[in-house]
Structure 1
Amino acid sequence: MISKLSHIHPDAKLGEQITVEPFTTIHENVEIGDGTWIGSNVTIYPGARIGKGCKIFPGAVISAIPQDLKFQGEVSLAEIGDNTTIRECVTINRGTLDKKTTKIGNSCLVMAYVHIAHDCIINNNVIIANTVQVAGHVTIDDWAFVGGSSAIHQFVKIGTHSMISGGSLVRKDVPPYTKAAREPLSYAGVNSLGLRRRGFTSETINQIQEVYRYLFLNSLNNSRALEEIEINLPATKERDEIVNFIRSSERGVMKGYIQ
């Protein structure tokens, strides 16, 4: 299952039933879980931790040193969870002193030519489409979708179940359950189709839409909108998640609806 034309450092730790295609290089201080397939011409640098059942396509570079001038060679990691697919020519840099780790969760799909920079946290079931560029320290929560050719500014946070239109410039945080589009990036509604596919009821979706009416459609500033939401809308998991996300935002959130 391991090609004789690949190069694997003797200190690398490989699980069972792993496939390594020709001309792939796996360096020292690398761990790869059972059942993972690694295509040809992949380079996996020190610090990579790759889970079970992953697929890594040709040309990918995993755990290269950060493109950060402050990086001084400190020991750090690039972690990839179970059952995640990394398509052709994806580059994933390992962490710096900030978090010491770049993390990609379970069951993610990272499409071709994506770059994920140092200290990013990509959670579970995230889809990142072709040629997306993710700067350092970005956080993307579960079930988010990032459309192709988008660029995400450093330190941005993207909320759970959100959907970002292709070609977007993401300079501000994107709250949970929303669709984001236009330039500058702004609220384009609730991701109701995605939520229904994942088992959210119509009642829950309507409650989420009501929260965003206060935030983005009622001409209130964020502080006042959050006060009105907590006074007038019943407490739910989704309501509180949205409120906490916006209150904790350091970069500020995207604009409201623009006609």
Structure 2
Amino acid sequence: MIHSQAIIDPSAQIADDVEVGPWTQIGAGVVIESGCRIASHVVINGPTRIGRNNQIFQFASVGEACQDKKYAGEPTELIIGDNNVIRESCTLHRGTVQDEGITRIGSGNLLMVNVHVAHDCRIGDNTIVANNVALAGHVHVDDFAIVGGQTGVHQFCRIGAHAMCGAASMITKDVPAYVMASGNLAKPHGINSEGLKRRGFSPEALRALKQAYRLVYRQGLKLEQAIAELDDLQRQYPEVALLAQSLRDSTRGIIR
């Protein structure tokens, strides 16, 4: 399953059924679990842990030291979950000690061609990050979010669960859960209704989320006031509670 022309450090831990293509290099401190397929010309450096059934396409650079000038060779880590597809030329960097020292990618994600995931990023589960997206350091992308191609995300920003960012956007503030954003600089454009319908959200939940969006974005309220106004809705609908929590968690302020 490992091509004779692959270069594997003796200390790397690779499950017996993992496929590794020619001219791929796997370094010390790398753990790769069962069912993974690693194409040719991939470089994986450690410490990096890769879960089950991941596909990593050619020319990807996984677990490399980060580009933060404060990084001084400390032992940091990249952790990848299960069932991810990491396409050609993606660059996934390890964390820094200025954060928790770990870059985390969850499970079921699609990272398209040439995606950059910088140090200390956290990507949840079932996200889609399209071609040429650049996530700066410490960015969080929550479950089921979609980031359109050519988008840049400023360091420390958060893209909430089920949010959708349009192509070629520049994200400099947090995008709350469920919100569609696009533009340079990115602005809000309503609730991601079509995506939520496809995921089985009820008509009642969608109506409640649209009402919540109007409270946040159409009433001229300060963020603290808007969160308070959501109290009744979030008691009835857990979907709204997730939106309210994403507003409370914002540290950079939300897109307006």
Report if TM-score (shorter chain) is over 0.5.
yes
Q: What is the one-letter code of the residue matched to 2:39?
A: G
Q: Which runs of 5+ in 1 are unaligned?
A: none
Tell me the alpha carbon deviations over residues 78-98 of structure 1, each in whole angstroms, 9 at most, x when there is no partner.
Answer: 111111010000000001111
Mapping of residues 15-34 of structure 1, within 5 Å: 15-34=15-34
Q: Tell me the distance in 2 between the aligned counterparts of 1:28 and 1:224.
A: 52
Tell me the alpha carbon deviations over residues 95-143 of structure 1, each in whole angstroms, 9 at most, x when there is no partner.
Answer: 1111111011101000111110000000100110000000000111000
Tell me the percent identity: 39
What residue in structure 1 maps to residue 254 of structure 2? Answer: 253
Q: What is the one-letter code of the residue matched to 1:6?
A: A
Q: How large is the RMSD of aligned CA atoms in angstroms?
A: 1.2
What residue in structure 1 maps to residue 52 of structure 2? Answer: 52
Q: Tell me the distance in 2 between the aligned counterparts of 1:221 and 1:186.
A: 17
CA shift, 1:46, in A, is 1.4
Q: Which runs of 5+ in 2 are unaligned?
A: none
What residue in structure 1 maps to residue 185 of structure 2? Answer: 184
CA shift, 1:177, in A, is 0.8
What residue in structure 2 maps to residue 242 of structure 1? Answer: 243
What residue in structure 2 maps to residue 150 of structure 1? Answer: 151
CA shift, 1:248, in A, is 2.4
What residue in structure 1 maps to residue 115 of structure 2? Answer: 114
1:126 and 2:121 equivalent?
no
What residue in structure 2 maps to residue 217 of structure 1? Answer: 218
1:199 and 2:180 equivalent?
no
Runs of 4 or more consecutive aligned structure 1 residues displaced over 3 Å after TM superposition: 231-235
- TM-score (normalizing by structure 1): 0.95
Q: Tell me the distance in 2 between the aligned counterparts of 1:153 and 1:30.
A: 29
Preserved contact between residue 235 and residue 241 of structure 2 (Cα < 8 Å): no
Preserved contact between residue 139 and residue 156 of structure 2 (Cα < 8 Å): yes
Mapping of residues 62-101 of structure 1, within 5 Å: 62-97=62-97, 98-101=99-102
- Three-state SS of the structure 1 residue aligned to 2:229 is helix
Q: Tell me the distance in 1 between the aligned counterparts of 2:110 and 2:95.
A: 20
Tell me the alpha carbon deviations over residues 44-88 of structure 1, each in whole angstroms, 9 at most, x when there is no partner.
Answer: 001111111100000000010010111111111111111101000
Moved more, 178-187 or 16-25: 178-187
How many residues matched? 255
Q: What is the one-letter code of the residue matched to 2:231?
A: E
Q: What is the one-letter code of the residue matched to 2:114?
A: Y
What residue in structure 2 maps to residue 5 of structure 1? Answer: 5
